[in-house]
A and B are shown apart, each in its own frame.
Chain A
Amino acid sequence: MDETNRDEMQTHTNDQAQGLRTKFGRSFRVIAITSGKGGVGKSNITTNLALTLARDGRKVLLIDADLGMANCDVLMGLTPKHDLRHLLYEDVHIDECLSKGPEGVDLLSGGSGVAELTHLESEQKWRLLDALDPLGERYDTLLIDTGAGIGTNVQFFAGAAQDVVVVVGPEPTSLTDAYSTIKVLANRCGIRRVLVCINNVTTMAAARQVFRQLHSVTSRFLSVVVELAGWIPSDIHVEKAVMTQVPFTTAYPMAPASQGITRLAESILRRPPETGRAGGFQMFWKTLLASEEYVT
């Protein structure tokens, strides 16, 4: 190696020793919450998971990337003034696009700006990277509500996250849709492990039953590891909380659904992130913005 090369190795900030240079990345977690079918409880789970992780001392940024139906703000009783679109096209400062939620959770609402994320011009890409880079100092956990389905938007975010949690309801259609989503994640986004959260069931046995069915199909037809990460009981407090716009883990911390969220949080954190997937916060954005292949 000659001098110029070596100099390059030492000044370059994006080589394999980057973590070493910044003296150890904290353990960033980037978790995308998705589902095949709409209305299975993603937003409720994402929002309450964010709060639960924050109570546990993590610094959480929640990105509501559900296009048509962004509603994590409503669930937390927030009315964001700006969203991602303002950041990208109207030069609004990132800090003004973040809303402060309970427990120190910050919310970045996707608004309708996310629709164009897959087609960003390089100016917007740089603007986004510039704006988001300093956020890595502030947060160690990134939760994304991707919205439902197998659209490019879902693939876009799930493909860049370390962990993907697929929320599945007890209805047969939810099972079929969950399978389709997992299939896309496995075949198109290269995801090798998917975590599953069964929502809105009466008993653990019922949750296991749903999971077992899903697992028997995925293990027969797909090469992806599917793990049961948690289950949330059907709970009247969820609806009550939606009505009052106070997240249920805040309003009813001892409610069965809240306990389900706590178990889910523990179970996600206990697993190391899927190996080989983007590690840090910046990495997340870089992977995201580089993932041209999900653009159609």
Chain B
Amino acid sequence: MNMQTFRAATMREAMNMVKAELGAEAVLLSTRELGSGRVEIVAASDPQPKTSVPDFSRIARNTSPTAVSPEILNSMLTELQEMRMEIKQLRSEKSVARRSRQDWDRMVDELRDLASVMGIHGAEDAQAAPIITRLVRGGVEACLARTLVEQASQNARTASDTLWGVKQSLEDALSPAPAIWDSSSRSVAALIGPTGVGKTTTLAKIAAQATFYHGKKVALVAADTYRIGGTEQVKTYAELLGIPWMVAENRNALAGALKRFERADLVLVDTSGHSPWQDSGLAYLDTLTSGLPVERHLCVMANTDGADVSRMVERYRSGGVKSLVVTKTDEARRMGSMLSSVWGTDLQIAHLTTGQNVPEDITVPNAQKLTQAVLG
């Protein structure tokens, strides 16, 4: 990182120095007025950050989060006035034609810099852009990010009001559903979802947590007779946990299993994965559980594209979904798709899974932390 202090008579001059020395990417760390009518800017940049800055941040590039003091603001206003005069004068001058193109470009650049420090290129934009950028960087779909910020800025006077509003709606949307092992009465829970999202592994984690930490009588049902080794997986976990298990290859067998495990507090059903875009998969689930008191919990992978997740949730919801489980959060770099999975629905997330280890790698989501993760 290259950090430098620049002193000049005017903010404009100082900004030019920053740009010349550190490039357009530079971050302003602080600005202050020196006694002698000069100004000082401390700025930094990293010529080789390696990770490229997402293009979207261009919107916010010109709005530095650095607070600008009122004195600086005043002095910049004066400068702006001066520049206006200069431009007016230039316009009126007959010699305009002779002015080189570069002169004009320089002038425009300077104006833009000045504006960036003051955050005056559209008061609304200046407030919204950094927040939208943060959301998008956090993996939130751009249109959703814009909606969130628009909603929040309606009653907001300042950027921090808007941010607060966005946080509130995120926390609200990301508030957790009851843990699957928490139900006070007997419940039958089936984990459903696309192939390979971690249904079986999650089922084992829930079974273990319910058994050891919550003193529940748990039984497992292996309804995934399609996947080679699908039932063995369930068997292995059941044996490790010392809890009963059964295979149920179809609806009637499942009904039988539920009857047999009547006295269990929690019956967990492992289903086979299918493509969410094919009707046959959804039909399989409907047939399997038709007329049975089975609650479905949909597993979705954290590193799925936000738009895909929300469509996927929509598809599965038609057959009834009690809550969501977001899996493989450890493999996701951004948590924004989680927001897409619940946004606009009354669904909530019951669990997050955070790795392959059974049973440690499962948690109950914390709305504040998730919000933080989304906002970065």
Contact = CB atoms under 8 A, between A and B. Distances in A.
Interface of A: 1, 6, 9-10, 16-21, 23-25, 172, 175-176, 179-180, 183, 186-187, 192, 212-213, 216-217, 219-223, 225, 271-272, 275-276, 279
Interface string B7-50: 00000000000000000010101100000000000101110011
A221 B46 contact: yes
A23 to B, nearest CB: 7
Contacts of B42: 172
Which among B44, B212, B240 has the greatest number of chain A C-beta atoms within 10 A?
B44
B363 A272 contact: yes
B1 A217 contact: yes
14 contacts: A6-B232, A10-B240, A16-B201, A17-B204, A23-B212, A172-B42, A183-B49, A217-B44, A222-B46, A223-B333, A225-B373, A272-B369, A276-B331, A276-B355
A13 to B, nearest CB: 13
Q: How large is the interface on B (under 10, 10 to 19, 20 to 34, 35 or more residues)?
A: 35 or more
Contact of A221 (B49, B204, B358): B49
B27 A216 contact: yes
A175 B3 contact: yes
A6 B236 contact: yes
A279 B360 CA distance: 9
B289 interface: no
B231 to A, nearest CB: 10
Contacts of A187: 50-51
Nearest to A227: B372
Given A187-B51, A213-B30, A217-B27, A279 B355 contact: yes
Contacts of A186: 51
Contacts of A17: 204, 236-237, 240, 357-358
Nearest to B29: A213
Interface string B258-300: 0000000000000000000000000000000000000000000
Contact of A216 (B65, B232, B240, B373): B65
A10 B241 CA distance: 12
Interface string B350-376: 000011111111010000010001001
B363 A16 contact: no
A187 B361 CA distance: 25
B109 to A, nearest CB: 20
Contacts of A279: 355, 357, 360-361
Interface of A is mostly: helix
Nearest to B44: A217
A59 to B, nearest CB: 19
Contact of A220 (B27, B330, B331, B354): B27
Contacts of A9: 236
B180 interface: no
Interface string B323-345: 00000011101000000000000
B66 interface: yes
B202 to A, nearest CB: 12
A20 B208 CA distance: 8
Contacts of B143: none
A163 to B, nearest CB: 14
A277 to B, nearest CB: 8
B97 interface: no
A217 B29 contact: yes
A276 B330 contact: yes
A172 B1 CA distance: 12
B323 to A, nearest CB: 20
Interface string B230-248: 0010001101110000000
Contact of A225 (B27, B53, B376): B376
A95 to B, nearest CB: 29
A180 B2 CA distance: 10
Given A16-B201, A20-B358, A276-B330, A219 B25 contact: no
Contact of A19 (B45, B333, B359): B359
B49 A20 contact: no
A148 to B, nearest CB: 16
Given A17-B204, A24-B212, A272-B369, A223 B236 contact: no
A110 B44 CA distance: 36
Contacts of B64: 216
A187 B212 CA distance: 39
B359 A20 contact: yes
A176 B27 CA distance: 13
A9 B232 CA distance: 11
A172 B3 contact: yes
Given A16-B356, A219-B376, A225-B376, 15 more contacts: A16-B358, A17-B240, A19-B360, A20-B240, A23-B212, A176-B3, A183-B1, A183-B49, A216-B65, A217-B44, A217-B46, A221-B45, A221-B46, A272-B363, A276-B329
